[in-house]
Amino acid sequence: MDFNEFRSFGNGAIDLLIRYLQTIRERDVLPSTEPRSIIHTLPDEMPEHAEHWQHILNDLENILIPALTHWQSPHFHAFYPSSSSMGSIIGELLIAGIGVLGFNWASSPACTELEMVVLDWLVKFLQLPQHFKHSTEGPGGGVIQGSASEAVLVSVIAAREQMVRRIKSEHPEMSESDIRGKLVGYASDQSNSCVEKAGKLAAIPIKLLPTKEDCVLRAEELIAALKEDLSSGRIPTICIATLGTTGTCAYDDITALASICQRYKIWLHVDAAYAGAALALDEYNHLRQGLDNIDSLNINLHKLLLVNYDCAVLWLKDASKLVKAFQVNRIYLQNNQKLDNELPDFRNWQISLGRRFRALKAWIAFRSVGAEGLRMSLRKHIELSERFEKYVLADNRFELVAKRTLGIVCFRVKGDNELTTQLLQRILENKKLYMVQAVQGEKLFLRFVICGMDTKTEDIDFAWYEIRTKLTELFEKLGEPECKERKNKIYVEAISKQISFNLHDGNVLSISEKSK
């Protein structure tokens, strides 16, 4: 392939991507694909000779895209958003085309220095503690990881090695294996699965401490666990708090946990993968409480900050502790000229040696959207979730199981768990809407999350129509009378209509229709 053909291929790929994104609202969010259908459709060996790019794009469009779950669809409301933006997509293309690996400064100076600049931008944008900035005197700073899973694992390993060094210096009679065998960590029973996995990979048992109905990890649970472990000869090493739990987006009591961790000299990491983006909004200032006293923090740019997956940031109060745990020096990894000591070799801040130029797509995305554009996007997620919440509150067949926060509404059908499960099954079978279940105590519930690249108010209206219609069908099948309808009953007669609901305090004030 020469450059002329590359240009044609690239133009064709961009055109395909535009067609895909422009029509994504019209596609079923879930595919109608049988297991192994792709395996049986595609050849079982690579072609012997090069194929024309148009044939490749045709197969992408006709075989692979129909078998996708469309994460950027405005009807995708499962898990969490995997955000993107036009600037970030272009950035990803440029990263692949430039093709550099910035594991140390000499291997590509722009990779290191742009990452420092962009992450310092974010410290200011999110109003994080100043010691997380590279430009501030001190040992702190930030680094881009692939995901929250990597950021949490890296933090657990750094905490583990710091504790081993400390105990060894205080108790030289103890062997290193004895010390490692006594280490233990803590997290909430509402923490993300990556926390439990990090404990397995780092060989530190992570105790999942119980939370109450509000799903918040508080001081008393941590203190009780610490006292029990200390009395048994174990060595508390790290606590992983969550700012925005996976199930309900609850916020652990960071201030109280930080005070305890300082008292017992254990590492406090905060996983704010989703909700950390809200720190950019003044109305979420309360989430900032306690962050001055934590050791590390991770936020995923690919959830709410319009940078496509994968791009997660890990900030450290003292990055030297991480470097001590990860540093391996080989002659071929030395920088080829004298460096300012403040310039990091990011290979020592992560698991792998090689690293992609992820800062480039973040830089392009932020420049093409701007700080105000990011804040507007965040507030749009909140406004759309508020709209959905009003629908739930106005239908007495449903109930909320947690306070709405950011772009997440947690709700269920009143009554037996089986009703909620069967409702979800009917919704998924129709493939027009995608949500997932979660559990709080003994209650199963549905998580409605604002996702997609361009979710609009009419998409929320469409989702509510789909949900309430499927519940009505379920009740009719079960032969049960529906719960008494509210005074202002909502009817949506045609999905092909754009429907605007004027809601106030859960009541329908007006309905206007405009044909698409």
Q: Distances in Å between the alpha carbon of 446 and those of 29, 45, 83, 413, 469? A: 17, 42, 21, 9, 16
Closest-CA residue to 290 (of 246, 250, 245, 259): 259
Omega within 30 of 0 (cis) for the link into 310: yes
CB 144 within 8 A of CB 311: yes
* Burial bucket for residue 18 (CB in 10 Å: 0-12, 13-18, 19+): exposed
- Residue 285 is a catalytic residue: no
Token output for 155 = 């933090």
Contact 140, 123 (CB under 8 A): no
Consecutive H or E run containing 437: strand 436-440
Residue 61: HSE in the Cβ half-sphere, 13 Å Cα cutoff: 17
Structure tokens at 94: 């440029």
CA dihedral sign, ordered 106, 108, 110, 116? negative
Please state the length of the chain.
Answer: 516
Look at phi and psi of residue 100 and say left if phi exceeds 0, alpha if psi is from -120 to 50, else beta: beta
| Residue 51: alpha-carbon gap to chain centroid | 38
**In whole angstroms, what is the distance from residue 395 CA to residue 471 CA?**
11
**What is the rounded CA–CA span in Å between residue 275 and residue 294?**
17
Q: Are 462 and 422 a contacting pair, CB within 8 Å?
A: no
What are the φ and ψ backbone dihedral angles of 222, each rounded to 5 degrees?
Answer: -70, -45
One of 104, 192, 298, 308 is an active-site residue; which one?
Answer: 192
DSSP conformational letter for 27: S
Q: How far apart are the first and last CA of the chain?
A: 43
CB 215 within 8 A of CB 402: yes
Residue 40's H or E segment, with its range, is helix 37-41
SS3 (DSSP) at 461: helix
Instruction: Tell me the two tokens of residue 12.
Output: 């064709």
186 Cα distance to chain centroid: 21
φ and ψ of 94, to 5 deg? -70, -35
Which residues contact residue 158 at a Cβ distance below 8 angstroms, ignoring those fewer than 6 apart?
267, 296, 316, 321, 322, 324, 325, 326
Per-residue burial over 303-314, b if 16 or more Cβ lie within 10 Å, else e, is bbbbbbbbbbbb
In sequence order, the 6+-apart residues with CB closer than 8 A to the CB of 509 are 502, 503
Catalytic residues: 192
